[in-house]
Structure 1
Amino acid sequence: MADATHILRVSPVIPVVTIDDPRHAVRVARALADGGVRIIELTLRTDSALESLKLIAGEVPEILLGAGTVLAPGQADAAVDAGAQFLVSPGVTPALLGHMLTLEVPILPGVATVGEVMAVLEQGLQAMKFFPAGPAGGPAYVAAIGAPIPHVQFCPTGGISPASAPDYLRLPNVSCVGGSWLTPRNAIENGDWKLITGLAQQAAALGVSP
């Protein structure tokens, strides 16, 4: 149950979303789903994030709901209790990884070095978040990891744009990318759900072969 390989196949782009006002949560999730992106990583970067998680879990069942920026075991527990269907961490420590492995949801631990990849692999996981993708070395770095460790699949996140996403997605060890560009803060604040749906449609199209 812990391995998240199947999560990485849901969409070519996993939206990494921060919502300040829970009143926007359901509308954001529905706008993404309307655009063909039926997955969301809602970050735990705000005090109201768990409330937003609960609202999406209860009102938008068609979207696969994940909690991101999981930094501690207690956060992981609270996110699952709020309705998160998978968990994403920006990095891993032995304590955090060990605790997340006890939970009944898939997990996507963050890695940035070959040693971290190997440590997570030792725990039986083959799906990982590569973060921060741009500063850590970009597509060339991810491709280089694939030479000695070809069976790990990555979701690179951090510094990725619509222009750079295809450079990652063409790699055999990349199943999807994470991106915050699908839900611009001003679009959320202004209630511009059509813009978010349009960006989701463009992101979904990245997975369509020419």
Structure 2
Amino acid sequence: MTTPSTSLLERLSNVPVIPVLEYHSVEEALHVSEALVSGGLPWLEITLRTPVALEAIRAVAKALPQAVVGAGTVLNAGQLHAVRDAGAQFAVSPGLTQTLADGARDAGVSLLPGVATASEAMFALENGFTFLKFFPAEAAGGVPMLKSLYGPLAQLKFCPTGGIDAAKAPTYLALPNVVCVGGSWVVPKDAVAGKDWARIRSLAQEAAKLKA
């Protein structure tokens, strides 16, 4: 049976890093996204933390058909419908509620829900989610926590996000229950401010070489 997360998991192959993005203009979104995709990171999580987020999702999805555009910081069912209509192919949430789980089914959106504890992971599993965001990764126990979860919940796969950088990513990716990691280190704020798209592309190329 296809669950709300298996379809997402099946599509995510050979992509070790999902950039977590906070765009402040459509122009910025297009330049940064193009640099990331051309650097080998086609999966993009555009967070709903700025007023232009939905417009950015729509613009990037249209301009870069080779990208797999997703929406992050999704908190309710209404946002699931909004990001789907904007062109997002998946959604990421910091946590999971019953309303959000039901909303993902109704909207037909692949949802990557966040969990931080065994109980939250079990709740997600009860709702058919087997691919989860472990968030906030470093604050919630990091690699030792994921190792501990593997024993009783080996059927679950994770995308740890929160406090992960280029140095920490390989340790996470070496875990048997980790598919990929989420992070913003590939898009440094000073590179965006300086419009140094080549630097972002280079960081994406380095991240794309990491392998779970």
How does the TM-score come out when normalised to structure 1?
A: 0.95
Q: Following TM superposition, by how much is the alpha carbon of 1:10 offset from its aligned partner in structure 2, in angstroms?
A: 4.6
Query: SS in structure 2 opposite 1:36?
Result: coil
Instruction: Say whether 1:137 aligns with 2:156.
Output: no
Paired positions, count = 208
Give matches, 1:119-130, under 5 Å.
119-130=123-134
Structure 1, unmatched stretches of 5+, are none
Letter in 2 for 1:117: A
> Which amino acid in 2 is paired with 1:98?
D
The C-alpha deviation readout for 1:111-158, integer Å capped at 9, x for no partner, is: 011011011111112100000000000101011100001010000000
Partners of 2:186 and 2:24 in 1: how far apart? 16
Of 150, 156, 163, the residue aligned with 1:159 is 163
**1:78 alignment partner AA:** A
Q: CA deviation at 1:188?
A: 1.7
Counterparts of 1:186 and 1:7 in 2: how far apart (Å)? 32
- What amino acid maps onto 1:173 in structure 2? N
Report the residue type matching 1:11 in the other structure.
Answer: V
Partner residue, 1:43: 47
Q: Distance in 2 between matches of 1:157 and 1:29?
A: 19
- 1:105 Cα offset (Å): 2.4
SS of 2:107 mapped into structure 1: coil
The aligned counterpart of 1:148 is 152
| Comparing 171-180 and 95-104, the one that deviates more | 95-104
Percent identity between the two aligned chains: 47
| Aligned-residue RMSD, C-alpha | 1.2
Structure 1 residue ranges, 4+ long, deviating more than 3 angstroms after superposition: none
How do 1:67-86 residues align onto structure 2 when only pairs under 5 Å count? 67-86=71-90
Q: Which runs of 5+ in 2 are unaligned?
A: none
Alpha-carbon offset, residue 8 of structure 1: 4.0
- 1:32 is matched with which residue? 36
Give SS of 1:9's match.
Answer: coil
- Aligned position for 1:23: 27
Are 1:95 and 2:99 counterparts?
A: yes
**1:6-44 deviation per Cα after TM superposition (whole angstroms, max 9, x unaligned):** 244351010001111111111111100111111100000
Cα pair distance change 1:88/1:200, threshold 3 Å: same
Q: Which residue among 181, 190, 197 is the counterpart of 1:177?
A: 181
Query: What secondary structure, in the 3-state scheme, does the structure 2 residue paired with 1:168 have?
Result: helix
